[in-house]
Structure 1
Amino acid sequence: MNLFDKLYDNNENVPVRFVGFTTKDVRYDFGIVYTNMFFGKPLVICMQTGRSTLLDPKDITDLNHLQHVFRIDSQQEAEDLAEFFTEAIPASPFQEQYE
């Protein structure tokens, strides 16, 4: 019995970066998966909470988005994360996912 239609099933050998850092008030631990999937957006995982999101340079500038995704209370914490992600997430052109 076929209950599901498979949309994709890909394997990749991709770079993964694990980085931990502190700001004045907060410690962060992230895993960043630089994949060709998901339109080229890296998958960012908070290793402390398990929350994850796909981020591109435009997403990084949206501080409300960062606050929502990572459940951050202060604007300053979101600004600190945006500064880090600006350096960690490469500016890459939009990629067609389903060619």
Structure 2
Amino acid sequence: MESYDLYDVTEDAKVRFVGFAVNEGRYDFGIVYSDQFFGKPLVICMQTGHSALLDSSDIDDLDYLQKKFHLRTLTETIEVASFLEGVVPLSQMLEESYE
């Protein structure tokens, strides 16, 4: 079986670690801001290891967010979405960086 290298990129990426607590629980995320993946940051839940590439439109899709991070309730999902809105760049900002 032949293998094909699709890409091999090394980059200095900005990484931010954030945590917050609400009634539903405590959340710790690692956010990797990269030039890869059309500018969408990689958001990693430090408790579970679940991750997703997110922009503001992904955060607005509560069903998607709940499935990606295996959140238990709608209330929990809304709290996480509200927090992520403040740390994930707007879609428009991502689009402008590629023009």
* TM-score with structure 2 setting the length: 0.89
Runs (4 or more) in structure 1 with deviation over 6 Å come to: none
**Aligned-residue offset at 1:3:** 2.9
Tell me how far apart the structure 1 counterparts of residues 73 and 34 of structure 2 sit (CA, whole Å).
Answer: 30
Matched to 2:85, the amino acid is T
Tell me how far apart the structure 2 counterparts of residues 49 and 93 of structure 1 sit (CA, whole Å).
Answer: 27
Q: Which residue of 2 aligns with 1:6?
A: 5
**Aligned-residue offset at 1:67:** 0.6
Tell me how far apart the structure 2 counterparts of residues 81 and 25 of structure 1 sit (CA, whole Å).
Answer: 10
**Aligned-residue offset at 1:68:** 0.3
Which structure shows the bigger proportion of residues in helix conformation?
2
Give me the identity figure in percent.
48
Q: Which residue of 2 aligns with 1:89?
A: 88
Aligned-partner SS, 1:88: coil
Q: Which residue of 2 aligns with 1:69?
A: 68
Q: Which stretches in structure 2 are left out of the alignment for 5+ residues?
A: none
Aligned residues: 95
Matched to 1:11, the amino acid is T
Which structure shows the bigger proportion of residues in strand conformation?
2
Tell me how far apart the structure 1 counterparts of residues 15 and 94 of structure 2 sit (CA, whole Å).
Answer: 20
RMSD: 1.5
Q: How does 1:1-99 map to 2 (within 5 A)?
A: 3-91=2-90, 92-94=93-95
Aligned-partner SS, 2:71: coil
* TM-score with structure 1 setting the length: 0.89
Aligned-partner SS, 1:60: helix
